[in-house]
A and B are shown apart, each in its own frame.
Chain A
Amino acid sequence: MESRVPVAEMRQRRHADLPFFVVMGGLSASFVLLIVLLLAADIMFTSVQDFRDALMKPQIQAAFRLTLLSCTVAAIMSLWVATPLGYLLSRYRFPGRWLVDTLVDIPIVLPPLVLGLSLLILFHLKFGEWELESWLRDTLGTPVTYQWRAVVLAQFTVACAFAVRTMRVTFDQIDPRCEDVARTLGCSRAQAFLQIALPQAWRGMLTATTLAWARSLGEFGPIMVFAGATQMRTEVLSTSVFLELSVGQLDSAVAVSLMMVIMAILVLLLLRAFGARLQA
């Protein structure tokens, strides 16, 4: 039988929901508005000419190239490490698991400068006559400190921690029963991981890569301490902003900042489009 609710009552119910939407929408909009205002302020402050001038500087071009390269390498390295580590933390209860879980979070909570300093100390700490940096430089011919490799390592250290968190949550949400059944069908644990868990985790892997890339782009403190900001060698866009600011080039600093915003948006859009294609 059709239920009959009086029109006045229906209207009243609709109005009763209004405060809910006003409060929720208002709070949400305040944050979105803040981001829009920040971007708008940057755009209004700079001009096309400033932007073009900044782009023409050879050191900014070099920083742009190094940023693209180092962020991409750091993101790929993060994914390689975060996928197995996230899986192990999600699926297995092993001795010391809580310790590993806590250690992984340290780069997230540690002040960036302290992290950079720790990297610097690690590479230059002497164990008797032996020192990691000297060994890498003299034996392998690959010095790290104050080189582009230091930029990648500093970015990776922080980015990977975020990627591990993402991958762990991803695997937590994937039903382990599927892997169990796969094992009864003849899969080894490795095959169950590669053929059953991993294909289900692609969305999380995409998110982890995006997050790692974005974190790497914004990395500043550890890079300054561990890699320095030598123009044409270890300068990345985040350090360019600082260097331009330190010599009073505010226009140029804002132009570089906008460039970073555009890069971040482009990468996010590209990865989303890639994800949509995978889903289709």
Chain B
Amino acid sequence: MIELKQVSIRCGAFSLNDISFRVESGQYAVLMGKTGLGKTTILESICGLRKVQAGSILVRGIDVTRWSPSDRQIGYVPQDLALFPTLSVREHLQFALRLRRASRSEMKQRTEELSQVLGLGELLDRNVQRLSGGEAQRVALGRALAARPAVLLLDEPLSALDQSTRIEMHDWLCKVKVATGVTTLHVTHNSAEAEALADLRLVLQDGRVLENTYSGSGED
């Protein structure tokens, strides 16, 4: 479960005030809104990468507003993916588990599970700099899911992909949704993407988040 209660965020001249919404456990929510309205800022605040000036952020019912990003148990896939250039695909999938001192067998098992769900089996030993756009997206998704996070945050995961890869990636997201059932908040400005994936639609408009008010006019 993700809940924002009257959250205010300020970064430079830009600010968001009294943002409130709630995504129930296991729900796949899509946050829509035009570019530049602050969708990414909201995700970064939930992750703990951006400080909030007021209000509270709850994950699994626990107030994590003042927690460091490392303690929040959130899987985050940023728009630019931010894959680690010096690591292989396998090392990406095992990164979070290694930090949690998981056993070798546990890491091996989880790597197999994820590579099966995301179709990464043949790419495991490849360096991430040699991946296509769709493959890189799946690695970022696998890296975020590896430690079984409480929630998954996706920042425009399909926006930088070509049409065929976008369809393919969309199918992978559906597969992940079914396989993991993780509470997900997916940011997009594409209404078709929202319609196909969402259990819950949130629209960021005039500095406020409106629930279940999908109008189909979110696209730029």
Contacts and interface: CB of A to CB of B under 8 A. Distances in A.
A191 B99 contact: yes
Contact of B82 (A177, A186, A188): A177
Interface stretch (B69-77, B166-174, B183-191, B197-205): B69-77
Given A184-B69, A185-B143, A187-B70, A200 B86 contact: yes
B78 A188 contact: no
A184 B85 contact: no
A175 B147 contact: no
Contact of A184 (B76, B83, B84): B76
Interface in A180-202: 180-188, 191, 196, 199-200
Interface in B65-101: 68-70, 72, 74-76, 78, 80, 82-86, 95-96, 99-100
Given A183-B69, A188-B70, A199 B96 contact: no
Given A177-B78, A191-B99, A183 B70 contact: yes
A262 interface: no
A121 interface: no
A185 B72 CA distance: 9
A178 interface: yes
Interface residues of B, number: 25
Contact of B68 (A182, A183, A196, A200): A183
Nearest to B86: A199
B49 interface: yes
B74 A177 contact: no
- Residue in A175, A185, A187, A200 whose Cβ sees the most chain B Cβ within 10 Å: A185
B157 interface: no
Given A183-B68, A186-B100, A191-B99, A196 B84 contact: yes
Interface residues of A, number: 16
Interface in B95-148: 95-96, 99-100, 143-144, 146-147
A251 to B, nearest CB: 51
Contacts of B68: 183, 188
A193 to B, nearest CB: 13
B47 interface: yes
B82 A175 contact: yes
A185 B99 contact: yes
A120 to B, nearest CB: 44
B80 A184 contact: no
Contact of A186 (B83, B85, B86, B96): B96
Rank and list the top 5 A-B pairs by shortest CB-CB distance, nearest first. Answer: A177-B82, A186-B99, A199-B86, A183-B69, A185-B96
Interface of B: 47-49, 68-70, 72, 74-76, 78, 80, 82-86, 95-96, 99-100, 143-144, 146-147
24 contacts: A175-B82, A177-B78, A178-B82, A178-B85, A180-B47, A180-B78, A180-B82, A181-B76, A181-B143, A182-B95, A183-B48, A183-B69, A184-B48, A184-B49, A184-B72, A185-B146, A186-B100, A186-B147, A187-B70, A188-B70, A199-B86, A200-B84, A200-B85, A200-B86
